[in-house]
Chains A and B, each alone.
Chain A
């Protein structure tokens, strides 16, 4: 009981994710600044933003549905931080692993998007409603290829648990190479999930102010920002566990540093990608996802079926 509480609240649960999320945000912003030849924010910037937002006055729009408006950020934070419990961080097995936890993690990572939709919709601002609808529309575009490639990887490993997949791929290091297309597709879809450039259509600042979060302020905005950070960390851990399983069969003390390195590696790649591109239009994004990403994901599934039949296990 105590152990479970520790795992949920401290490591690898909320506290660890919160701190790691702040570090991730800092790395993202600092790299972005360095790419633009700037000095960039100091190391405590995300923390200062968080404390400031928490201590600000809270304004709730008159027409908003107060209950939904207040509940949604909390729900987003909960959903995104619970999913880390099924991803291996400290050892080859995750804290609460069971056969089928891939699906639970994917489901839990979808929940925040729905909460952003509901929160935006029930704040009843024009901009937040447009942003909410856009984030839901975008969801249908990136979710399918993302699920397909992760499930393709599970297919090759012949297991539905993340820990099992990690164990399989760290025993057969070469098999990592089979999933290389899937890794690329998953990275691009992940940009859509985090609503980053080029897929930041739901919160396009120059068009619709701040999307679903236009009406949020103070504590609730701080929760939303935190849940975005945590989503980034959890998503990166998921990609690391599925596609980069190096190091988990190493000496036990090395597993955790290796895990951190892998997550940071994915965050850096995502920052590169977001700085390289400009924002797409919603229809361009959807046609890109369905025309290129989804066929590639299908190709990955077919390839993995062939590999499974041909390669020795």
Chain B
């Protein structure tokens, strides 16, 4: 096996529900149209998905309900078998694995967090977290120690002997997270992990999630409905519609250069200042008069807008080496924040 930095790789993955899905797919020759399939009793879950996720990257998948996000994730974790296409996990052909190899892969490489927590109701917090380890055949004492570490990691110490029903939603999801991390997987799947939580707890959990990720540096696929969440977490965002990945790109690119009408509409409401960095809107350095303020090109606009707007002249934009790489006029900020929405109506 050659080690590359690509951890997950999908090549024209299709998932079509229905009895004669395989045959219909062959006849369609890769050009799947959801409507005609539906007429014939097939539901298109994932339609020709090709992408790669590299090590330590966080890919956030977005889309409306029923757009096939979960289905895509389940294909990659092989909870369902893709109808066609190739999926590689660290250069291993996922679909060619037999049952035993698949179980090995899941026991050692993958972790998953579920939207509705999916905890085992008859086990305590500790037992739930230790469960994947026990399944793997790790010795009892070791399991417990490891699980205790996880309990501490997600901040549930003191509650390890509670049952899931005795915990709040946020606490239950922490258990779910701890469980998925217990075997120290390289790849981490999260299917709308925070959707069932109220906004305050959600924010708290997001922060905690970022803290964890900083520490653990996993390869992550994360599903969410919430654009703010996506922006906060994502390295790249994939937007799905009817099973098709409409666009997969960095947050800034998705907002600035939507590939399709759908993506454009999808991102219209997104506050630009939250997405764009200064480098995305700056101009080439010219010899105009600059104000004294300097900003790093990697700053998100939202964070510095106020300061820039107090200036009358353009401000300087610098890179890591303190070299001026561009300028930015306050009016540009105003244009970015409000301009995007003007041509909506």
Specify whether A and B are partners.
no
Partner-A contacts on B (CB < 8 A): none
